[in-house]
Amino acid sequence: MLLNASGCLDGLTAPDVARSLDAFVTKTVTPLPRDGNAPVRIAETDVGMLNSIGLANPGIDRFLTRNLPQLAALGVPIWVSVGGFETDDYADICSRLDDHAEVSAIELNVSCPNVETPADSAAEIVSASRLATRKPLWAKLSPAVPDIAEVARAAQASGADGLSLVNTIRGLKLDERTLRPVLGPGQGGLSGPALKPIALAAVATCYRATQMPIVGMGGVQTGLDALELIAVGARHVALGTVLFADPDAPARVRAELHAAAAARGWNAYEDGYAVAHEETLSAGATLDERSSV
Protein backbone atom coordinates (compact mmCIF):
# COMPACT_ATOMS: atom_id res chain seq x y z
CA MET A 1 0.00 0.00 0.00
CA LEU A 2 1.24 3.51 -0.84
CA LEU A 3 0.33 6.30 1.59
CA ASN A 4 1.35 9.88 2.26
CA ALA A 5 3.42 10.70 5.35
CA SER A 6 1.49 12.71 7.93
CA GLY A 7 1.76 16.47 7.47
CA CYS A 8 3.13 16.23 3.92
CA LEU A 9 -0.13 16.42 1.99
CA ASP A 10 -3.29 18.47 2.50
CA GLY A 11 -5.99 16.15 1.18
CA LEU A 12 -8.50 18.98 0.92
CA THR A 13 -6.39 21.35 -1.17
CA ALA A 14 -4.90 18.51 -3.26
CA PRO A 15 -7.75 15.95 -3.47
CA ASP A 16 -6.45 14.36 -6.68
CA VAL A 17 -3.07 13.61 -5.09
CA ALA A 18 -4.83 12.12 -2.06
CA ARG A 19 -6.99 9.99 -4.35
CA SER A 20 -3.88 8.63 -6.06
CA LEU A 21 -2.85 6.98 -2.77
CA ASP A 22 -4.17 3.76 -1.23
CA ALA A 23 -4.91 5.61 2.02
CA PHE A 24 -4.69 9.21 3.15
CA VAL A 25 -2.97 10.03 6.45
CA THR A 26 -4.03 13.28 8.13
CA LYS A 27 -1.75 15.87 9.69
CA THR A 28 -1.44 15.11 13.41
CA VAL A 29 -4.55 16.18 15.32
CA THR A 30 -4.27 17.34 18.94
CA PRO A 31 -7.00 17.94 21.57
CA LEU A 32 -7.00 21.73 21.15
CA PRO A 33 -6.37 23.86 18.03
CA ARG A 34 -2.72 24.82 17.57
CA ASP A 35 -1.25 27.62 15.49
CA GLY A 36 2.10 25.86 15.51
CA ASN A 37 5.52 27.47 15.89
CA ALA A 38 6.62 30.95 14.88
CA PRO A 39 7.78 31.38 11.25
CA VAL A 40 10.12 30.61 9.48
CA ARG A 41 8.89 27.00 9.63
CA ILE A 42 10.43 25.38 6.53
CA ALA A 43 14.01 25.48 5.23
CA GLU A 44 15.82 23.63 2.47
CA THR A 45 19.18 22.04 3.25
CA ASP A 46 21.70 20.26 0.98
CA VAL A 47 20.41 16.88 2.11
CA GLY A 48 16.71 17.42 2.72
CA MET A 49 14.22 19.70 4.37
CA LEU A 50 13.92 21.12 7.87
CA ASN A 51 10.49 21.86 9.30
CA SER A 52 9.32 23.28 12.57
CA ILE A 53 5.59 23.35 11.94
CA GLY A 54 4.89 22.40 15.56
CA LEU A 55 1.68 20.40 14.99
CA ALA A 56 -0.44 23.25 13.62
CA ASN A 57 -3.95 21.76 13.37
CA PRO A 58 -7.61 22.67 13.96
CA GLY A 59 -7.98 20.51 17.10
CA ILE A 60 -10.14 17.42 17.39
CA ASP A 61 -13.55 19.21 17.66
CA ARG A 62 -13.18 21.11 14.41
CA PHE A 63 -11.42 18.19 12.78
CA LEU A 64 -14.44 15.95 13.44
CA THR A 65 -17.10 18.44 12.39
CA ARG A 66 -15.37 20.06 9.43
CA ASN A 67 -12.32 18.17 8.11
CA LEU A 68 -13.29 14.53 8.54
CA PRO A 69 -16.56 14.65 6.53
CA GLN A 70 -14.72 16.34 3.65
CA LEU A 71 -11.82 13.90 3.82
CA ALA A 72 -14.24 10.96 3.87
CA ALA A 73 -15.72 12.28 0.60
CA LEU A 74 -12.34 11.66 -1.08
CA GLY A 75 -13.26 8.00 -1.26
CA VAL A 76 -9.91 6.69 0.03
CA PRO A 77 -9.40 5.07 3.46
CA ILE A 78 -8.55 7.71 6.06
CA TRP A 79 -5.87 7.23 8.71
CA VAL A 80 -5.96 9.85 11.44
CA SER A 81 -2.66 10.84 13.01
CA VAL A 82 -3.12 11.58 16.70
CA GLY A 83 -0.83 13.64 18.92
CA GLY A 84 -0.82 15.13 22.37
CA PHE A 85 1.20 16.18 25.37
CA GLU A 86 0.17 13.50 27.80
CA THR A 87 -1.25 10.01 27.63
CA ASP A 88 -4.86 11.09 28.25
CA ASP A 89 -4.76 13.38 25.21
CA TYR A 90 -4.14 10.40 22.95
CA ALA A 91 -6.71 8.18 24.67
CA ASP A 92 -9.39 10.89 24.54
CA ILE A 93 -8.94 11.49 20.83
CA CYS A 94 -8.88 7.75 20.12
CA SER A 95 -12.17 7.24 21.94
CA ARG A 96 -13.74 10.10 19.97
CA LEU A 97 -12.57 8.59 16.68
CA ASP A 98 -13.73 5.11 17.60
CA ASP A 99 -17.36 5.58 16.45
CA HIS A 100 -16.39 7.12 13.12
CA ALA A 101 -16.65 4.39 10.52
CA GLU A 102 -14.91 6.64 8.00
CA VAL A 103 -11.65 6.33 10.01
CA SER A 104 -9.79 3.20 8.89
CA ALA A 105 -6.82 3.42 11.24
CA ILE A 106 -5.16 5.62 13.82
CA GLU A 107 -1.48 6.55 13.75
CA LEU A 108 -0.17 7.56 17.17
CA ASN A 109 2.45 10.25 16.71
CA VAL A 110 4.62 9.53 19.72
CA SER A 111 7.63 11.08 18.06
CA CYS A 112 7.21 14.74 17.01
CA PRO A 113 10.53 16.59 17.33
CA ASN A 114 8.85 20.00 17.11
CA VAL A 115 6.94 20.20 20.37
CA GLU A 116 8.60 21.28 23.55
CA THR A 117 6.85 19.09 26.10
CA PRO A 118 8.06 15.51 25.88
CA ALA A 119 5.20 13.05 25.59
CA ASP A 120 4.77 10.22 28.04
CA SER A 121 6.38 6.94 27.07
CA ALA A 122 5.27 5.26 23.86
CA ALA A 123 4.18 2.16 25.77
CA GLU A 124 1.94 4.14 28.09
CA ILE A 125 0.35 6.03 25.20
CA VAL A 126 -0.25 2.87 23.17
CA SER A 127 -1.76 1.00 26.16
CA ALA A 128 -4.17 3.82 26.98
CA SER A 129 -5.12 4.28 23.32
CA ARG A 130 -5.66 0.53 22.93
CA LEU A 131 -8.28 0.64 25.70
CA ALA A 132 -9.96 3.63 24.02
CA THR A 133 -10.48 2.28 20.50
CA ARG A 134 -11.00 -0.88 18.45
CA LYS A 135 -9.41 0.73 15.37
CA PRO A 136 -6.06 -0.54 14.11
CA LEU A 137 -3.31 1.38 15.92
CA TRP A 138 0.00 2.24 14.29
CA ALA A 139 2.70 3.64 16.54
CA LYS A 140 4.89 6.20 14.76
CA LEU A 141 8.34 6.11 16.28
CA SER A 142 11.33 8.38 16.29
CA PRO A 143 14.64 6.99 15.04
CA ALA A 144 16.43 9.28 17.51
CA VAL A 145 16.36 6.88 20.44
CA PRO A 146 19.17 4.72 21.80
CA ASP A 147 17.36 1.43 21.11
CA ILE A 148 14.43 1.56 18.70
CA ALA A 149 13.92 -2.22 18.98
CA GLU A 150 13.09 -1.79 22.64
CA VAL A 151 10.50 0.94 21.88
CA ALA A 152 9.02 -1.22 19.10
CA ARG A 153 8.70 -4.24 21.38
CA ALA A 154 7.08 -2.09 24.05
CA ALA A 155 4.57 -0.72 21.52
CA GLN A 156 3.80 -4.25 20.37
CA ALA A 157 3.33 -5.53 23.94
CA SER A 158 1.03 -2.56 24.61
CA GLY A 159 -1.33 -3.49 21.78
CA ALA A 160 -0.11 -1.67 18.67
CA ASP A 161 -1.09 -3.37 15.41
CA GLY A 162 1.75 -1.89 13.41
CA LEU A 163 4.62 0.59 13.35
CA SER A 164 5.16 3.72 11.24
CA LEU A 165 8.87 4.33 10.77
CA VAL A 166 10.31 6.95 10.86
CA ASN A 167 9.53 10.47 12.00
CA THR A 168 11.98 13.27 11.34
CA ILE A 169 15.21 13.75 13.27
CA ARG A 170 16.36 17.07 14.78
CA GLY A 171 18.46 19.36 12.65
CA LEU A 172 19.62 22.95 12.52
CA LYS A 173 20.33 25.32 9.64
CA LEU A 174 22.17 28.61 9.99
CA ASP A 175 21.76 31.66 7.83
CA GLU A 176 25.05 31.94 5.90
CA ARG A 177 25.34 35.68 6.48
CA THR A 178 24.18 36.14 10.07
CA LEU A 179 25.12 32.66 11.33
CA ARG A 180 21.81 32.62 13.19
CA PRO A 181 19.21 29.82 12.93
CA VAL A 182 16.99 30.10 9.87
CA LEU A 183 13.95 28.52 11.51
CA GLY A 184 11.86 30.55 13.95
CA PRO A 185 12.14 28.10 16.85
CA GLY A 186 15.83 27.40 16.06
CA GLN A 187 15.84 23.69 15.33
CA GLY A 188 13.48 21.56 13.28
CA GLY A 189 12.82 18.07 11.97
CA LEU A 190 15.03 16.87 9.11
CA SER A 191 13.26 14.92 6.38
CA GLY A 192 14.07 13.86 2.83
CA PRO A 193 17.09 12.05 1.36
CA ALA A 194 19.28 12.26 4.49
CA LEU A 195 16.69 10.22 6.35
CA LYS A 196 16.71 7.21 4.02
CA PRO A 197 19.61 5.21 5.53
CA ILE A 198 18.24 5.98 8.99
CA ALA A 199 14.77 4.77 7.96
CA LEU A 200 16.20 1.61 6.40
CA ALA A 201 18.08 0.78 9.61
CA ALA A 202 15.04 1.50 11.79
CA VAL A 203 12.72 -0.65 9.66
CA ALA A 204 15.26 -3.49 9.51
CA THR A 205 15.78 -3.40 13.29
CA CYS A 206 12.06 -3.24 14.15
CA TYR A 207 11.19 -5.95 11.62
CA ARG A 208 13.71 -8.27 13.28
CA ALA A 209 12.57 -7.29 16.76
CA THR A 210 8.80 -7.60 16.25
CA GLN A 211 7.85 -8.97 12.79
CA MET A 212 5.03 -6.41 12.95
CA PRO A 213 3.49 -4.75 9.87
CA ILE A 214 5.48 -1.59 9.18
CA VAL A 215 4.78 1.55 7.15
CA GLY A 216 8.24 2.61 6.00
CA MET A 217 9.02 6.25 5.28
CA GLY A 218 11.98 8.58 5.19
CA GLY A 219 13.56 10.02 2.07
CA VAL A 220 11.58 8.00 -0.46
CA GLN A 221 11.93 9.70 -3.84
CA THR A 222 11.83 6.79 -6.27
CA GLY A 223 10.31 3.34 -6.66
CA LEU A 224 13.67 1.82 -5.84
CA ASP A 225 13.76 3.72 -2.54
CA ALA A 226 10.34 2.23 -1.78
CA LEU A 227 11.49 -1.26 -2.75
CA GLU A 228 14.48 -0.94 -0.42
CA LEU A 229 12.17 -0.19 2.50
CA ILE A 230 10.06 -3.22 1.54
CA ALA A 231 13.21 -5.33 1.33
CA VAL A 232 14.13 -4.51 4.92
CA GLY A 233 10.64 -5.29 6.20
CA ALA A 234 8.10 -2.57 5.38
CA ARG A 235 4.67 -3.84 4.27
CA HIS A 236 3.64 -0.34 3.19
CA VAL A 237 5.48 2.80 2.11
CA ALA A 238 4.65 6.47 2.74
CA LEU A 239 5.73 9.47 0.68
CA GLY A 240 6.62 12.65 2.57
CA THR A 241 8.91 15.46 1.48
CA VAL A 242 8.89 14.29 -2.15
CA LEU A 243 5.23 15.36 -2.40
CA PHE A 244 6.17 19.03 -1.95
CA ALA A 245 8.36 18.91 -5.07
CA ASP A 246 6.41 16.37 -7.10
CA PRO A 247 2.65 15.98 -6.58
CA ASP A 248 2.71 13.25 -9.23
CA ALA A 249 5.07 11.19 -7.07
CA PRO A 250 2.43 8.57 -6.08
CA ALA A 251 1.80 7.44 -9.68
CA ARG A 252 5.49 7.74 -10.63
CA VAL A 253 6.79 5.88 -7.56
CA ARG A 254 4.17 3.16 -8.05
CA ALA A 255 5.21 2.67 -11.68
CA GLU A 256 8.91 2.67 -10.76
CA LEU A 257 8.23 0.22 -7.93
CA HIS A 258 6.54 -2.23 -10.29
CA ALA A 259 9.39 -1.81 -12.80
CA ALA A 260 12.04 -2.36 -10.11
CA ALA A 261 10.26 -5.54 -8.97
CA ALA A 262 9.86 -6.79 -12.56
CA ALA A 263 13.56 -6.13 -13.23
CA ARG A 264 14.30 -8.59 -10.43
CA GLY A 265 12.00 -11.20 -11.94
CA TRP A 266 9.24 -10.71 -9.37
CA ASN A 267 5.54 -10.72 -10.23
CA ALA A 268 4.77 -8.14 -7.56
CA TYR A 269 6.78 -5.84 -5.33
CA GLU A 270 5.45 -7.81 -2.35
CA ASP A 271 7.85 -10.58 -3.45
CA GLY A 272 10.63 -8.32 -2.24
CA TYR A 273 9.23 -8.23 1.31
CA ALA A 274 12.05 -8.67 3.84
CA VAL A 275 14.46 -10.19 1.31
CA ALA A 276 17.32 -8.22 2.84
CA HIS A 277 16.99 -10.41 5.91
CA GLU A 278 16.89 -13.64 3.92
CA GLU A 279 20.19 -12.77 2.30
CA THR A 280 21.72 -12.12 5.69
CA LEU A 281 20.44 -15.48 6.87
CA SER A 282 21.61 -17.41 3.82
CA ALA A 283 25.03 -15.74 3.99
CA GLY A 284 25.15 -16.83 7.63
CA ALA A 285 24.02 -20.34 6.68
CA THR A 286 26.81 -20.62 4.12
CA LEU A 287 29.34 -19.55 6.70
CA ASP A 288 27.92 -22.04 9.20
CA GLU A 289 28.08 -24.83 6.62
CA ARG A 290 31.70 -23.97 5.88
CA SER A 291 32.62 -23.79 9.52
CA SER A 292 31.00 -27.16 10.20
CA VAL A 293 32.98 -28.89 7.40
Ligand X SMILES: Cc1cc2nc3c(=O)[nH]c(=O)nc-3n(C[C@H](O)[C@H](O)[C@H](O)COP(=O)(O)O)c2cc1C
- Asked if 140 interacts with ligand X (CB under 6 A), we say yes
- Asked if 105 interacts with ligand X (CB under 6 A), we say no
Min separation Cβ 290 and ligand X, Å: 40
- Asked if 227 interacts with ligand X (CB under 6 A), we say no
- What amino acid positions are annotated as catalytic residues? 112
Min separation Cβ 183 and ligand X, Å: 12
Contact indicator for 127, 154 with CB cutoff of 8 Å: no
- Asked if 7 interacts with ligand X (CB under 6 A), we say yes
DSSP 167-209: --EEEE-B-TTT-SBSBTTBEEEEESGGGHHHHHHHHHHHHHH
- Asked if 235 interacts with ligand X (CB under 6 A), we say no
Per CB under 6 A, the segment of 12-20, 120-128, 131-139, 211-219 that binds ligand X is 211-219
Helix (H) or strand (E) holding 224: helix 223-231
Among 51, 129, 142, 210, binds ligand X (CB under 6 A): 51
- Asked if 195 interacts with ligand X (CB under 6 A), we say yes
Compute how many residues bind ligand X; rule: CB under 6 A. Answer: 25
Contacts of 44 (CB under 8 A, 6+ apart): 50
Sign of CA dihedral 131, 117, 55, 189: negative
- E runs forming strands in the chain: 2-4, 24-25, 42-45, 48-51, 78-82, 103-109, 137-141, 162-165, 169-172, 187-191, 214-216, 236-239
Per CB under 6 A, the segment of 47-55, 94-102, 118-126, 264-272 that binds ligand X is 47-55
Residues at the site binding ligand X, with contacts judged by CB under 6 A: 5-8, 27-28, 49, 51, 53, 55, 81, 109, 112, 140, 167-168, 191-192, 195, 217-220, 240-241
